[in-house]
Amino acid sequence: MKDVILKGAVCHTPEPGVLDARESAFVVCQDGVCRGVFDTLPESFRGLPVKDCGDCLILPGLTDLHIHAPQFTFRGTGMDRELLDWLDRYTFPEEMRYADGDYARRAYAMFADRMLKSATTRAVIFATVHRRATVTLMALMERTGLISYVGKVNMDRDAPPALTERDADAAAADTAGWLNAVERLELNRTRPILTPRFIPCCSETLLRELSEIRRVYDLPVQSHLSENPGEIELVKKLMPDARFYGDGYDRYGLFGGEAKTVMAHCVWSPPAEVERIRKNGVWVAHCPTSNMNLASGIAPVRRYLEKGLRVGLGSDVAGGHSESLFSVITDALQASKLYWRYVDETAKPLAFAEAFYLASCGGGSFFGKVGCFAEGYEFDALVLDDGEMPHPRPLSAAERLERAVYLGLDQTGLRAKYVAGRCIFEKG
């Protein structure tokens, strides 16, 4: 069931900045694992079923390292505020609705359906503080066939009472309850991830409790870091002892090292924080769309890549208005050009193949060997039909890929999607 050979215009970025684009080739999946890309099919694979995708593009699946499922409902609205105001005005009121199981089920079903039909094959997802709604979301995500981490949010201060856990003990108990409920569901593709919202909403007592839970359950961690200057000022006041924002997580074992961690944004990380991110092997979820929409700024991705940081892309719906990772790639390219122009002329803008790498291998690495078609990688693939975009002369596969990304063809052109060798979506 997990053997398939796809034939078409195969494109992937096996190394940072290196686009391997072929007009017609075979990509082989055996037992859910990629065996490589071949211009001519080797004899040894002749027994496997071949799916001829005609002239379609065949791409690796993409990873969304940072997305808020409950905010999907108001994506593309309320873009007139900076982070802290935006949370108070739009986000918290919407997240409160997820106390209602019916609402959560309907809203999360819409989210899961969109995830299924998107270019995203792996995702790291924030839910809300609500334990039951989070379980609902996880069951729905499992049904899509995507592989994802989903986190029940923890927060015990500085938010509406309906969204804050009574105290750290209650939060710990509730989180353990959630984890136990998840365990009983026996999900294969949907795993829990520890999710302190961000330091402004988490007391140190809560962080200490979460640290313990993380250790006991051996969980990965996701949170937000150095997104907005106002947020950073607030963290300085709330945790005056922390050397920098990220140190506030690190002192509770929630910042890489043993705890596999992804931090969203890192727009304004000072040098010491960047160094800690590198040393601890923390993944950076670069969210250019959101960082523009909320006027946060532009993360210095070129610098992060030069320093060898682990970087992937996040849609950050609904700070980002779209779950389309094609659109996020475009925004990453554009933002890097403005960073070069206005902030640092020595920081070379991202090249297309670099941004595509971030969306595929960069984020994929949070899930293991994921994000390209090299031998041994888990087989996540997209089949994309760009026939609706005619052209008066033939284009190369590389040109077609770039055009498809810039024009957001993931919204309408997806014909099939494979995750870890399983076909989870097929159209037409």
Question: Least Å distance between CB 4 and a second copy?
Answer: 29
Nearest to 182 by CA among 124, 130, 132, 221: 132
Establish if 230 lies at the interface with a second copy (CB under 8 A): no
Choosing from 8, 248, 256, 297, the residue that interacts with a second copy (CB under 8 A) is 297
Pick 142 or 402: Cβ nearer a second copy: 402
Backbone angles phi, psi at 73, to 5 degrees: -65, -30
85 binds a second copy (CB under 8 A): no
CA distance 422 to 235: 44
Q: At 231, list the tokens.
A: 């947020």
DSSP 373: -
Residue number, 183 or 399, with CB nearest to a second copy:
399
120 belongs to the binding site for a second copy (CB under 8 A): no
Candidates 56, 333, 370, 383: give the one binding a second copy (CB under 8 A): 333
Q: x/- site string to a second copy, residues 53 to 82, per CB under 8 A?
A: --------------------xxxxxxxx--
| Closer to a second copy by Cβ: residue 54 or 76 | 76
Residue whose CB is less far from a second copy, 12 or 321: 321
Tokens 């609904």, residue? 318
- In angstroms, what CA-CA distances link 403 with 57, 389, 391? 12, 9, 11
Stretch that binds a second copy, among 6-14, 57-65, 231-239, 346-354 (CB under 8 A): 346-354
CA distance 369 to 329: 21
Nearer Cβ to a second copy (152/400): 400
Q: Which member of 121, 128, 175, 334 binds a second copy (CB under 8 A)? A: 334
Name the packing angle between helices 397-406 and 325-342 (round to 10°).
90
Is there a cis peptide before residue 318, judged by omega within 30 degrees of 0?
yes
Q: In the set 162, 216, 272, 343, which binds a second copy (CB under 8 A)?
A: 343
Closest approach of a second copy to the CB of residue 393, in Å: 7
45 binds a second copy (CB under 8 A): no
295 binds a second copy (CB under 8 A): yes
Number of amino acids touching a second copy (CB under 8 A): 52
Residues in contact with 161: Cβ distance below 8 Å, sequence separation at least 6, in sequence order: none
The rounded distance, in Å, linking the Cα atoms of 200 and 159 is: 9
Query: How far, in Å, CA of 349 to CA of 345, rounded?
Result: 9
* 315 near a second copy, rule: CB under 8 A: no
Residue 340 CB, nearest distance to a second copy (Å)?
6
Stretch that binds a second copy, among 42-50, 59-67, 146-154, 294-302 (CB under 8 A): 294-302
Q: By CB neighbour count within 10 A (0-12 exposed, 13-18 middle, 19+ buried), where does 97 fall?
A: middle
322 is a contact residue toward a second copy (CB under 8 A): yes
Q: Minimum distance between the CB of residue 86 and a second copy, rounded to whole angstroms?
A: 12
CA distance 185 to 29: 29
Give dist(CA 363, CA 128) in Å, integer: 23
Cβ count near 39 (within 10 Å): 10
Dihedrals phi, psi of 408, to nearest 5 degrees:
65, 40
CA distances from 197 to 127, 201, 202, 336, 424 (A): 10, 6, 7, 27, 31
Q: Does 394 bind a second copy (CB under 8 A)?
A: no
Q: Which of 45, 205, 406, 423 binds a second copy (CB under 8 A)?
A: 406
3-state secondary structure of 259: strand
Backbone angles phi, psi at 46, to 5 degrees: -65, -20
Min dist CB 60 to a second copy, Å, is 20
Does 89 interact with a second copy (rule: CB under 8 A)? no
Q: In this complex, which beta carbon is closest to a second copy, that of residue 214 or of residue 321?
A: 321
427 binds a second copy (CB under 8 A): no
341 binds a second copy (CB under 8 A): yes
Of 148-156, 182-190, 241-249, 404-412, which segment contacts a second copy by CB under 8 A?
404-412
Stretch touching a second copy by CB under 8 A, among 119-127, 308-316, 390-398, 417-425: 390-398
Instruction: Tell me which residue of 44, 54, 42, 43 sits closest to 6, measured CA to CA.
Output: 54
| CB 97 to a second copy: min, Å | 8
Task: Enumerate binding residues for a second copy (CB under 8 A).
Answer: 73-80, 97, 103, 106-107, 110, 289, 292-298, 321-322, 330-331, 333-335, 337-338, 340-343, 349, 351-352, 390-393, 395, 399, 402-408, 411-412
